[in-house]
Chains A and B, each alone.
Chain A
């Protein structure tokens, strides 16, 4: 079981859109509609932002969207705001009763 691969960092200016990728394999991201994304501010617990690839929990801004192509999932944040600056993690069911996280991506709002 290997971790999912995310870019270490991404950045964007306020109002712009950014996309964070999450590369997995045909054994995890590519096989199950069970990709979720979490936002984590420093010193805080992770917060669910996207579940089941592209669904948004109640209360999460519609500026956040998720998608998947093959073995790679993506999180897109449109209309970047200063408060979006945080670490983002993807997570996927990996089969055999296991779950795997990505290494995390630090988003900087310039």
Chain B
């Protein structure tokens, strides 16, 4: 199993550009999450999904959209990137509501100029 993978690993954008971050998991997990991690701020939840076709807002959803069309994939979109979205983005998945361990992807380092 590859576990949780994220594409791309690094990206530099200009203000106003758009992009999509892809998260894929091959563990048949129900729950998937997108976080951002900034120095001194810890992990902050952007959006999450409790199953295929469902999404919900987390702590810091503004400026981001997500989709979960397939169970194994969770996409994070930035429609018009801003310098404040410079961050490390982590995707995570969790098997079921009864299992609490979350498995994280390796992260995507995004810089918005």
The answer to whether A binds B is no
- What residues of chain B have their CB less than 8 Å away from a CB belonging to chain A? none
A interface residues with partner B (beta carbon < 8 Å): none
